[in-house]
């Protein structure tokens, strides 16, 4: 079965290649085997091997052999590492994944805040270790946590949801809401602020 074509064609050859590259760029300090990467993005082993070969040929990833395993890691020294990371994050990263995972949750707005949002807006600092999500409205808690679990599985980082009512967001007297409003955040569903 042929996968749906990625939005970045003709730059990327397949959706799987985009997902592999995005995963490696979001986790630039971690090495993975090809089988781990295939399992992570839900690809066949042969597809993952082919796409990793393309990435290695372009020197976007480094590879080394340990025993029978080929270890793959993002090439942080490549001249396009930083800009490509931004493009891949926009297309395959936490924001679209959180938006997709929370799409079925009845909320007025969903946004990402904290260190990931700060890096997304260009503030310097170490890569985010988690994704902080504010869900505004009155959704069922179980739906929110199910959505967070689904996003966490795809992103590979903890997804920490926080719930606030629309009134709490609009009034802004809640300490966390006030802090979020003063800091960078990324609206992924509803609303127009960021």
Rounded to the nearest 10 degrees, what angle do helices 45-57 and 34-41 cross at? 110
> Tokens 């839900």 correspond to what residue?
42
The tens digit of pLDDT for each residue in 91-137 reads: 778 898 999 999 999 999 999 999 999 988 888 888 888 999 999 99
Rounded to whole angstroms, the Cα distance separating 141 from 50 reads: 41
**For residue 9, is pLDDT > 60?**
no
pTM recorded for the entire structure: 0.73
**Which domains are delineated in the chain?**
15-81 (1.10.10.10), 93-189 (3.30.460.10)
Q: What is the mean pLDDT of residues 53-62?
A: 91
Rounded to whole angstroms, the Cα distance separating 17 from 167 reads: 43
Check residue 48 and give left, alpha or beta (phi > 0: left; psi -120 to 50: alpha). alpha
User: Strands 32-33 and 61-66: what pairing?
Assistant: unpaired
Residues with Cβ within 8 Å of 173's Cβ and at least 6 positions away in sequence, in order, are none
The tens digit of pLDDT for each residue in 135-184 reads: 999 999 999 999 999 999 888 889 999 999 999 999 988 999 999 999 99
Name the nearest CA neighbour of 137 among 104, 178, 179: 104
Helices (H), 42-190: 45-57, 81-92, 94-102, 115-120, 141-155, 166-171, 175-182
């Amino acid at each position: 079965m042929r996968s749906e074509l990625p939005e970045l064609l003709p730059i990327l050859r397949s959706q799987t290649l985009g997902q592999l590259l995005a995963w490696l760029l979001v986790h630039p300090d971690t090495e993975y085997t090809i089988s781990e990467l295939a399992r992570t993005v839900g690809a066949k082993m042969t597809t993952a091997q082919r796409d990793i070969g393309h990435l290695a040929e372009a020197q976007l990833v480094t590879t080394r052999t340990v025993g029978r395993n080929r270890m793959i890691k993002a090439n942080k020294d490549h001249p396009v590492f930083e800009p490509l990371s931004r493009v891949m994050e926009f297309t395959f990263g936490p924001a679209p994944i959180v938006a997709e995972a929370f799409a079925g949750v009845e909320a007025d707005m969903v946004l990402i805040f904290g260190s990931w949002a700060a890096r997304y807006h260009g503030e310097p600092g170490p890569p985010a270790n988690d994704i902080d999500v504010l869900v505004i409205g009155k959704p069922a808690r179980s739906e929110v946590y199910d959505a967070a679990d689904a996003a966490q599985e795809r992103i590979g980082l903890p997804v920490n949801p926080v719930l606030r009512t629309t009134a709490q967001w609009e009034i802004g007297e809640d300490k966390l809401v006030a802090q979020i409003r003063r800091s960078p955040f990324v609206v992924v569903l509803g609303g127009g602020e960021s």
